Chain A
Amino acid sequence: GAVVSQHPSRVICKSGTSVKIECRSLDFQATTMFWYRQFPKQSLMLMATSNEGSKATYEQGVEKDKFLINHASLTLSTLTVTSAHPEDSSFYICSALTSTEAFFGQGTRLTVV
């Protein structure tokens, strides 16, 4: 079946630095990918929809200048957390859809110290 690979699985960074998270669809092309954030003991919050070759669509309340999304090819979307702060520490998950199913990456645990 279709596979979505997310990297890195864990990252620790210093406050004020930027972190890039990659999401790849390994055996299918994904014109649209989604980025979610999961807070402890809570469900997934959709952050943005990443569209290949165009600007991402951000959900209300998500800072587009802080969470930069680039979808440069049909198999790769990246999320860059800029000037990270401890409150950005969270579990980030990407997703890509085929015509019948949503596939998820393994998730990235970001810890900002």
Chain B
Amino acid sequence: GNSVTQMEGPVTLSEEAFLTINCTYTATGYPSLFWYVQYPGEGLQLLLKATKADDKGSNKGFEATYRKETTSFHLEKGSVQVSDSAVYFCALSDFRISGGYQKVTFGTGTKLQVIP
């Protein structure tokens, strides 16, 4: 079955530091990969996604590249801000209609705290 392994947190960084959150996956087929962000007390918001190998998803200064050879989708940001403090979830899903079961598999989440 599908699985997502995400680095444990919490991660504490100073403002303007470089961020990397590692994510690796195991899947049958060719899933789409996602990063979701959850701010305190809120639901999940899609941060970025990639649907095939070598695709790079990007949004709000965050980037992640779909690496099929290493089955990874690491999240990076060159300069974090205090407002980036949140929990980040790596996820995958196979949206093939023929599969009949479009389940999203999540990693355990990584809490990021950015201090001024």
- A100 contact set on B, CB distance < 8 A: 32, 51, 95
- Asked if B59 is at the interface (CB within 8 A of a chain A CB), the reply is no
The answer to whether B43 and A104 have CB atoms under 8 Å apart is yes
Q: How large is the interface on A (under 10, 10 to 19, 20 to 34, 35 or more residues)?
A: 20 to 34
B53 to A: closest C-beta gap in Å: 16
Q: How large is the interface on B (under 10, 10 to 19, 20 to 34, 35 or more residues)?
A: 20 to 34
A101 to B44, CA, bound (A): 13
- B49 contact set on A, CB distance < 8 A: 101
A100 to B32, CA, bound (A): 8
Proximity string of chain B (27-43) to chain A, C-beta cutoff 8 Å, 1 when within and 0 when not: 00000101010000111
The residue from A42, A44, A97, A103 contacting B102, defined by CB atoms under 8 A apart = A97
CB-CB under 8 A for A107 and B43, given A43-B108, A100-B51: yes
The answer to whether B32 and A44 have CB atoms under 8 Å apart is no
- Asked if A19 is at the interface (CB within 8 A of a chain B CB), the reply is no
Proximity string of chain B (90-107) to chain A, C-beta cutoff 8 Å, 1 when within and 0 when not: 010101010001111011
Residue of B nearest to A105 (CB): B43
A32 to B102, CA, bound (A): 9
Proximity string of chain A (68-111) to chain B, C-beta cutoff 8 Å, 1 when within and 0 when not: 00000000000000000000000001010101111111110100
Question: Chain A binding site: helix, strand, loop or mixed by DSSP?
Answer: strand
The answer to whether A34 and B103 have CB atoms under 8 Å apart is yes
Most buried by A among B34, B102, B111: B102
- Asked if B66 is at the interface (CB within 8 A of a chain A CB), the reply is no
The answer to whether A93 and B95 have CB atoms under 8 Å apart is no
B109 to A: closest C-beta gap in Å: 5
A94 to B67, CA, bound (A): 29
- A107 contact set on B, CB distance < 8 A: 42-44
B61 to A: closest C-beta gap in Å: 20
Q: Which residues of B contact A (CB under 8 A)?
A: 32, 34, 36, 41-46, 49, 51, 89, 91, 93, 95, 97, 101-104, 106-109, 111
Q: Which residues of A contact B (CB under 8 A)?
A: 6, 32, 34, 41-44, 46, 49, 93, 95, 97, 99-107, 109
